[in-house]
Chain A
Amino acid sequence: MKKILKDTCILASLMILAVFAISIIWSGVTDEIKLILQLFLLALIISIINNFFDDYLTVSVIMSYVVKYFAISGVVMLFGFIVGWFYLSNFWMAFIYVGAVLVMAYFLDSFMIKKDIEYINNKINSRG
């Protein structure tokens, strides 16, 4: 199931990129295409930050999510100001968007870690 969901997300991303890449040829960079490209760029920046923290941060799971929350919210806000998503009146919304995604990621991550640990320990026990 996990693999199917992952493959679905990758396929959807590729479909979006392919469709919009062809659209650029016909109609140039419209507002919709610009938004999609900006989202992909933001996703890339967040992935790099996330990867960096995973490598260099050795704190508890909750603490690492708190650090990521503030770092990623800052990046989303900055990016939002640069590309014109946020104004001074609504920039705080970045905290809500990032918070919602990170809460889901935290619970999913905690669950997956427990399952992976269980799997590895079972394998170790079965080899005797």
Chain B
Amino acid sequence: MQIITRQVEGKPLTVTIEYPEYNESTMRLIQKINSLDLRFSAYDDDKQIRIELSDVYYIENVERKLFIYTKSDVYRFDSTMPQLESIISGTQLVRISRTCIMNTDHLKQIRQVKNSHLEAVLDNDEMLIVSRKYLKDIKRVFKG
């Protein structure tokens, strides 16, 4: 793969992808680039805020309401789990339990607590419970 970069003044950041044939690698690359531009419209009380994907630590479904957790703040996010899952496809966000989606970029470690449940430790030292069912999905993100 060849990477060509050039400065073009007065134009927005543009990524052009040239490929000999459209295959899975090309599709994944496009998804990855698209994900870099992904932002969530969330609410802090009634104030609307745009949150970049990289700032999201995890998204939790609490009594059918979604909440976005950043390093130290929580925002309300008006969406549903199925809608959210279609948006995050191909990104570093992955479902880790029935109610939680985690950003693997902030994952520090996965551990099994004495033959008990699985835990994901994030880089802000928060811990999330991981359902064994979704461990394969986390692995898939790292396989890229």
Stretch at the interface among A6-14, A17-25, A70-78, A115-123: A115-123
A61 in contact (CB, < 8 A): yes
Question: Which residues on the B side are within 8 Å of A120 (C-beta)?
Answer: 107, 110, 135, 138-139, 142
B133 in contact (CB, < 8 A): yes
User: Which secondary structure dominates where chain B touches chain A?
Assistant: mixed
Whether A54 contacts B115 in the complex (CB less than 8 A), given A119-B139, A120-B139, comes out as: no
B28 in contact (CB, < 8 A): no
- Residue among B117, B135, B136, B138 making CB contact with A58, cutoff 8 Å: B117
B127 in contact (CB, < 8 A): no
Q: How many B residues are at the interface, by size bracket?
A: 20 to 34
A31 in contact (CB, < 8 A): no
Contact call A124/B107, Cβ cutoff below 8 A: yes
Instruction: Give per-residue flags for B113-131: 1 if the beta carbon is below 8 A from chain A beta carbons, else 0.
Output: 0011110000000000101
Contact call A116/B133, Cβ cutoff below 8 A: no
> Which B82-135 residues sit within 8 Å CB-CB of chain A?
98, 107-112, 115-118, 129, 131-133, 135
Question: Which residues on the A side are within 8 Å of B109 (C-beta)?
Answer: 121, 124
A67 in contact (CB, < 8 A): no
- Residue among A55, A114, A117 making CB contact with B131, cutoff 8 Å: A55
Contact call A117/B132, Cβ cutoff below 8 A: no
- Where the two chains meet, the residues of B that have a C-beta atom closer than 8 Å to any C-beta of A are 98, 107-112, 115-118, 129, 131-133, 135-136, 138-139, 142
13 CB < 8 A contacts A-B: A55-B131, A55-B133, A58-B117, A62-B115, A113-B132, A117-B111, A117-B112, A117-B118, A119-B139, A120-B107, A121-B109, A121-B110, A124-B107
- Where the two chains meet, the residues of A that have a C-beta atom closer than 8 Å to any C-beta of B are 51, 54-56, 58-62, 109-110, 113-114, 116-117, 119-121, 123-124
